Amino acid sequence: MSAYYQDQKLMVEGLAVDNMAKQYGTPLYLYSKAAIEQAFTAFSAPLKDRKHLICFAVKANSNLAVLNLLARLGAGFDIVSGGELARVIAAGGDPAKVVFSGVGKTRSEMAEALKAGIHCFNVESIAEIDRLNAVAAELNMVAPISIRVNPDVDAKTHPYIATGLKENKFGIDILMAPDAFRKAKALPNLKVLGVDCHIGSQLTQTQPFVDAIKRLLELKETLSQDGIELEHMDIGGGLGVTYTNEQPPKPADYLAHILPLIPSNVTLVMEPGRALVANAGLLVTRVEMTKDNGFKRFVIVDAAMNDLMRPTLYQAVMPVLPVVEAQQTGPISDLVGPVCETGDWLAKDVPLSSEEGDLVAIGGAGAYGFVMSSNYNSRPRAAEVMVEGTQAHLIRQRETVAGLWAGEQVLPE
């Protein structure tokens, strides 16, 4: 976690959170530059002696400043839309380090990515193989591809973020994969570079990764017998982080388990997202009022489910950090927002003595925080700030109410 207490005050790097809330308002997303750098180095350092490409999963946090920082560190990017590709390019990312995932790529997205010169498409179905070949032929180009296989491995995570089981929509069943590779190899406008696998998110054990990679290696051997040699193996992302009590392996330990399995002449591609940015971020919110209905105490804040969807969507438990440390003790309370939904909660049954005007932060908000936010209830989205030592950089302005209906118009009289 990037935040810490100093003299009872919550800090991010060298700045006090209360001062930043005063300057930029609330709700407010705060990110630590140093925490992102440290998280990236935790992956890159163990890989320094072998061919690799670390592709940040843009869906975790797509702010241009975050993408630019990672690009400067040497990261590639895992994208799932044409919009994410445009963001990566706008942020200074190298298209040649981009892998394009997702089950529903449109023809126009494929064409844009081909023209940009991305590293490869992670193809997820026979229909996509045919479509991509046709789009590449229209452009008189050859599309580099990696086929995403579904290894039917239980990632032991929340069902909404498990992606490697037979019932999930992702990838091609590993038993059907050899035929898919043969088909792709025979098409004139495709070039098979590798195999891809992503079994889920917020994994806290290494064994599911090991099981999946062993199945990929069996597939690689089968393909080799057919004359199909793979240049890279993409093992996806999904390594979990500590929000409260989770104990995921550190990147070095995780890599120590899987690197011996992967041939040294094969480029290792990986797609971490949450593990690079989650614990670099906070959502800071101000208490509007408290309410006790005789059964439960509610701390009502100015952030809501539209600002942070993870608790209500995934029943995610995220750390609650009062900006004054002493307020971590107190009556058991639910931290809720003003949105008109019973599902509008940020934390349940936490000890919290904060009252009207106090500030509370939600930890672990650097991933799937702002990027999943919306304007539900006509609420402007929060500002985003990157902290660098004792400097704060506004990296996204707070939306205005008038901006909410820009592009809309009433019917003529």
pLDDT digits (tens, 9 = 90+) for 249-295: 999 999 999 999 999 999 999 999 999 999 999 999 999 999 999 99
Among the listed residues 224, 129, 220, 223, the one whose alpha carbon sits nearest the alpha carbon of residue 183: 129
Q: Which domain holds residue 356?
A: 3-30+278-399
Q: Is the pLDDT at 155 greater than 70, yes or no?
A: no
Indicate the number of domains in the chain.
2
State how far the Cα of 405 lies from the Cα of 134, in Å rounded to an integer. Answer: 39
CATH code for the domain of 317: 2.40.37.10
Q: Is the pLDDT at 159 greater than 60, yes or no?
A: no
Same domain, 12 and 146: no
pLDDT over 70 percentage in the chain: 96
More confident residue, 238 or 22: 22
In a domain, 412, yes or no: no
Residue 55 is a catalytic residue: no
Same domain, 54 and 90: yes
User: Domain boundary residue among 274, 293, 308?
Assistant: 274
CATH code for the domain of 51: 3.20.20.10
Q: How confident is the model at residue 154 (pLDDT cuts 50, 70, 90)?
A: low
Q: Look at residue 158 in the predicted model and tell me its pLDDT.
A: 41
Q: How confident is the model at residue 151 (pLDDT cuts 50, 70, 90)?
A: confident
Q: Render pLDDT for 85-99 as a digit per residue (tens, 0 to 9).
A: 999 999 999 999 999
140: left (phi over 0), alpha (psi -120 to 50) or beta: left
State how far the Cα of 150 lies from the Cα of 166, in Å rounded to an integer. Answer: 7
Same domain, 299 and 259: no
More confident residue, 382 or 264: 382
Lowest mean pLDDT among 65-69, 208-212, 322-326, 386-390: 208-212
Same domain, 270 and 375: no
Same domain, 26 and 98: no
In a domain, 405, yes or no: no
Same domain, 136 and 206: yes
Same domain, 243 and 336: no
Q: Render pLDDT for 243-261 as a digit per residue (tens, 0 to 9).
A: 998 899 999 999 999 999 9
In a domain, 411, yes or no: no
Q: Is the pLDDT at 167 greater than 60, yes or no?
A: no
In a domain, 245, yes or no: yes
Q: Render pLDDT for 32-78 as a digit per residue (tens, 0 to 9).
A: 999 999 999 999 999 999 999 999 999 999 999 999 999 999 999 99
Instruction: Give CA 7 to chain center in angstroms.
Output: 33
Q: Which residues of 88-126 are buried (b: 16+ CB within 10 A; e: fewer)?
A: bbebebbbebbbbbbbebeeebbbbbbebebbbbbbbbe
User: Domain boundary residue among 274, 300, 325?
Assistant: 274
Same domain, 342 and 254: no
- Mean of the per-residue pLDDT values of the chain: 93
Do the beta carbons of residue 238 and residue 202 sit within 8 Å? yes
State how far the Cα of 351 lies from the Cα of 336, in Å rounded to an integer. Answer: 14
State how far the Cα of 413 lies from the Cα of 396, in Å rounded to an integer. Answer: 37
Length of the chain: 413
Amino acid identity, position 304: A
Q: What is the mean pLDDT of residues 160-166?
A: 44
CB atoms within 10 A of CB 79: 30
In a domain, 404, yes or no: no
pLDDT over 90 percentage in the chain: 85
In a domain, 407, yes or no: no
Q: Look at residue 200 in the predicted model and tell me its pLDDT.
A: 81
Q: Hey, which bits of 60-130 come out as E strands?
A: 76-79, 98-100, 120-123
Lowest mean pLDDT among 23-32, 235-244, 306-315, 399-408: 235-244
Same domain, 105 and 167: yes
Same domain, 19 and 55: no
In a domain, 83, yes or no: yes
Same domain, 204 and 83: yes
In a domain, 247, yes or no: yes
State how far the Cα of 65 lies from the Cα of 184, in Å rounded to an integer. Answer: 37
| Catalytic position from the list 55, 120, 197, 340 | 340
Q: Look at residue 1 in the predicted model and tell me its pLDDT.
A: 65
State how far the Cα of 152 lies from the Cα of 170, in Å rounded to an integer. Answer: 11
More confident residue, 321 or 160: 321
CB atoms within 10 A of CB 83: 12
Same domain, 179 and 285: no
pTM of the predicted model as reported, rounded to 2 decimal places: 0.94
Q: Is the pLDDT at 342 greater than 70, yes or no?
A: yes
User: Domain boundary residue among 234, 256, 274?
Assistant: 274
